[in-house]
Amino acid sequence: MDLHDYIESGIIESYLLGLASADEAELFERMRSLYPELNTEVAAVEYKLQKVMVEGGVTPPAKVWNRIAERLTPHNKEGYYSKAGKRGEAGEPLTYVLQPRNNTMTISIWWRCAFIALVVVVMALTASTVYFYQQFRNMEERLLRLYPAQLQQVQPARQ
């Protein structure tokens, strides 16, 4: 059997849907390591399956969620299971521990350095802007003090 026939046999779909037996799944994994083009085919089939599921998806009725919630509540008789999935000998409820998500964000040291450098550059630009503005104002005052004297010298020459 060549690779094309193997792909056409539907093994990829069976594997992705979980319908392949353990031997078929093991053989498929070995074939994937031997033939990298199988990975491309797997990606294409995954895309097609996802597209079919999204297009043909049906929203389940609200009562389905209610049934699921009833099974998950520990005070319900069906919620009393041991860890092996059987009813508990002591009638102990299966405890569902919900741990809060870790909402911390880690930032690389390079981003921190870049941010510090950006702050330093902004501060330097602000300081230089203030300095040059003061220099401009000083020069403007000097010119205004000198301007009337030059104006008086120019006016008699025009007459």
pLDDT of res. 79:
43
State the distance between the two ends of the chain, measured CA to CA, in whole angstroms: 112
Tens digit of pLDDT per residue, the chain (159 long)?
688 888 888 888 888 888 888 999 999 999 899 888 899 999 999 998 888 888 877 777 777 778 887 777 765 444 444 444 444 455 555 555 666 677 777 788 999 999 999 999 999 999 999 999 999 999 988 888 887 666 666 555 555
pLDDT of res. 81:
47
Judge contact between 15 and 8, C-beta under 8 A: no
Q: Please, how many CA atoms are within 13 Å of residue 28, restricted to the half-sphere of its CB? A: 22
User: 12: burial class by Cβ within 10 Å (0-12, 13-18, 19+)?
Assistant: buried
In angstroms, what CA-CA distances link 16 with 65, 122, 158?
26, 54, 98
pLDDT of res. 84:
44
Spell out the domain ranges in the chain: 3-58, 60-94, 105-159
Both tokens of 72, joined, read: 């998950």
pLDDT of res. 137:
95
Secondary structure of the chain: what % helix, strand, coil (to 5)?
70, 0, 30
pLDDT of res. 146:
81
> Rounded to whole angstroms, how far apart are CA atoms 70 and 74?
9
Judge contact between 82 and 89, C-beta under 8 A: yes
pLDDT of res. 90:
53
> Rounded to whole angstroms, how far apart are CA atoms 49 and 16?
9
Judge contact between 88 and 77, C-beta under 8 A: no
> Rounded to whole angstroms, how far apart are CA atoms 139 and 145?
10
pLDDT of res. 5:
86
Q: What's the whole-model pTM score?
A: 0.37
